[in-house]
């Protein structure tokens, strides 16, 4: 098995497993909207249900569930297509895409199973809360951040390959 596919399998299995296990634990042990303070005025575990996307975007849209399922499926297919085209030396890219893929699948499972996504990580500064999120969301964000770094590094690599070698004097 090629390293990139092994990486996809391992990363996806771990991320999806942790994502679904934490969501199941929260669902079974907490009441909706209940909160546990972890770090005062900074971080709580707060059980939320999100019918929309980030920041509850499109939560009231009447076709939101089929829309989000379709968008998730398209994302998974597009990521798989990009994955197939990776060069053997693009392990960093494979890792980043694996995170995004796993996050998309983790949230897709919730949407198919529950019609919404379970969120529970609540970062805030006193009364100013960032929208609650979950392990799948974190994997997507980290994966996209790593892809941005990878694109920067790849652009620099391509520029170096195009530069003529320095002239030697002799």
Mean pLDDT by 10 residues, the chain (170 residues): 90 98 98 96 94 62 78 92 92 96 95 93 90 95 96 87 72
Q: Which of 19, 110, 119, 122 is an active site residue?
A: 119
Q: Where are the beta strands (DSSP E) in the chain?
A: 35-39, 43-50, 117-125, 128-129
Dist. CA 11–CA 127, nearest whole Å: 35
pLDDT on residue 107? 94
Active site residue 89: no
**pLDDT confidence of residue 61:** 61
Cβ(100)–Cβ(144) below 8 Å: yes
Active site residue 27: no
Look at residue 59 in the predicted model and tell me its pLDDT.
59
Which among 19, 110, 122, 137 is annotated as catalytic?
A: 137
Q: What is the pLDDT of residue 58?
A: 59
Q: In angstroms, rounded to a whole number, what is the distance separating the alpha carbons of residues 75 and 107?
A: 12
């Amino acid at each position: 098995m090629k390293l990139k596919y092994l990486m996809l399998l391992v990363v996806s299995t771990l991320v999806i497993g942790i994502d679904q296990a934490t969501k199941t634990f929260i669902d079974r042990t907490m009441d909706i909207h209940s909160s546990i303070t972890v770090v005062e005025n900074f971080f709580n575990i707060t059980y939320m249900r999100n019918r929309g996307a980030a920041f509850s975007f499109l939560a009231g849209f009447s076709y939101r569930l089929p829309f989000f399922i379709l968008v998730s499926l398209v994302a998974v297919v597009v990521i798989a297509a990009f994955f197939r085209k990776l060069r053997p030396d693009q392990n960093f890219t494979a890792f980043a895409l694996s995170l995004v893929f796993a996050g998309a699948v983790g949230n897709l499972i919730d949407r198919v199973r529950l019609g919404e996504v379970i969120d529970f990580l609540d970062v805030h500064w006193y009364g100013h809360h960032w929208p609650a999120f979950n392990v799948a969301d974190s994997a997507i964000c980290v994966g996209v951040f790593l892809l941005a770094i990878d694109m920067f590094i790849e652009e620099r690599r391509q520029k170096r390959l195009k530069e003529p070698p320095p002239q030697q004097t002799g």
